[in-house]
Structure 1
Amino acid sequence: MPAEQKIPENAPENCVGPESEQAGKADSCAGCPNQQLCASGPKGPDPAISVINERMETVKHKILVLSGKGGVGKSTFTTNLAFALSFDENTQVGIMDVDICGPSLPKMTGLEGEQIHQSSTGWSPVYVSDNLAVMSVGFMLSNPDDAVIWRGPKKNGMSLNVIYFHGVPSVLTNSCTSGMIKQFLKDVDWGDLDYLVVDTPPGTSDEHLSVVNYLKESSITGAVIITTPQEVSLQDVRKEINFCKKVGIPIIGVVENMSGFVCPKCTKESMIFAPTTGGARRMCEEMGVSFLGAIPLDPRIGRSCDLGESFLDQYVDSPAYTAYMKVIEQIRSFVAPA
């Protein structure tokens, strides 16, 4: 957004933004000091979309990882999916972390404390290995404990002080959450990728709409939706499925995470989060989407994420490893059917 079109801090909380067709005309615009400027500003398609389309020409498959609610293991699944895809040295994989307020991918991939850099071709992602790259707002925080504060569709001045490059300040010129996502898509030099896995926040919020809007012309391969077995999680996942159907995102399938615990000594399975309505499998049957599989609990998954290590590379004896690989094989089959 050009400097003269920035939304002032005292704009209404439900501001529609200067690029909206309703800019300066919506009910929320009444009394806003920027009303006249927004009403006279340019409207229509965002010119950044053509730049994003050009960037995405080198990305074969774009997979969104979604969840209806937080705490179901979405980022953990994203990490393990990316690690598994990168096991093939000939496959180039990228992870884009758009969970703006809770970026966890730097820690889960062992990159906490790393920095991103700018070059003549754009921002350079941080590499786990030669064929696995990561981009996250977490790399922009001088302290991983800093809070990223967003105010409605705007990012206030405090946030601009918090989100700062190590040595490359004032790069974040757009003042809305979608602006951060837009910059990740148009300014990051991913190179040639076979897979771009996008880790999103829980729910169906502005971030999801932004990703869909910016990627719709370059096409989204599909979404993997993560849930846990209990009904309180499935309720939100139903909303997520309906969201995907409404905006035209192909649904690769649903994964039931934390589905029981298999004792490593006696191999007996215990249901920690017992389903009360049939779990994800029945929900998928009712809603006409694919059930990709159930992944059991294994404490070593959490420990691997804390240490930034690949669980799938170290614990091939785990029932969770077997479940993960079956799910990931189905995702591969969806992306590139035989």
Structure 2
Amino acid sequence: MTGPLPQLLADTAGLRWTEQLHGLARARLDELARAHGGLDDLLRAATVRPDVASQVAAAFTVGETWFQRIGAHFEALPELLADRPHVRAWSAGCSTGEEAYALAAAFTRQTVDVLGTDLNPEALRRAQEGRYGARSFRGVPAAQVERSFERRGEQFEVRPALRRRVRFSLHNLMTPAPRRDLDVIACRNVTIYFTPGAAALAYTHLAQALAPGGVLLLAPSDPRPPAHLGLVVDRSRGTQVLRRALTPPGRPRRAGPGAADRSPAGAAGPAGVGAARPPAPEVTDLPAARRAAYEAPLDPQAQLQLAWALRRAGQEARAARQARHTLTLLEAGGADSWDAARLRAGCLSLLAGTGGP
């Protein structure tokens, strides 16, 4: 599908439009369209109102989850984080909250506080309510259900002791993490729905939010994070997770004021981020800039050129978001080079509303 809807989803929440996803969202999308007088009117409103754009994106979020989804992760966590008496956790893309509560219940010998976030306000309302049907508990032992939930007719309600460990908040993974220095982040079966560039940006935010030695939980179907983020594989109890290294990966540094950059000319750093390279030809056509940025999601130069192309097309808000995304990539790369400094200056110039590429 071409047109404004796929681009709106990508710009607002990093979502990649597919026929399957559209089919799942159709009922919610039709309801929003009726409230605005039709789909065309809804999409026009979404281009000028961020709240409407978020409602459209939320309609495309997938709400299928349950407590024992990839249960081996929860079994391994106490061992993986045994050296931490208090665990700070984040369930990113928590949907109706099962994963957030499962994270909190996984730790029986440590104190824990869990933040669950999602783009969908209705899903968060259900998460805060904390009532679930039997389908959410498939694969969970009866004794474990009894320990953490009270039966209310055909449903099960979170017990107060577990509820006190968890809180929920609205959050878009295209923006920086709401907390830092986290011991564990679960973001499973979320980035599979993202464009490549959006997945790379989300992983950057997640990695930056982890404490040294912190654990990132992904699903087997999720795309792998970029290598430059320095996440390493760790295994426990027959499952694998990703860890942030205890010390940050090496970054090239200058010897002192005025010292020459001793990196080989044109050498690329991890994934090419922040590396010195010959300037690419300027891309002024918006479709071409979008294509170049899509094909090189970790290249700050391609991402900044898209920001300027969006600005020339009069899409100021999207241009600003794209410039901030480019700054995030440059920060993650960490290279100290003239080229990186030039790209940062270009981002700041765009955000200040001055100059041009």
TM-score, structure 2 length as denominator?
0.23
Specify the structure having the higher radius of gyration (Cα).
Answer: 2
Of Structure 1 and Structure 2, the greater helix share is in 2
**Greater relative contact order (Cα < 8 A, sep 6+):** 1
TM-score, structure 1 length as denominator?
0.23
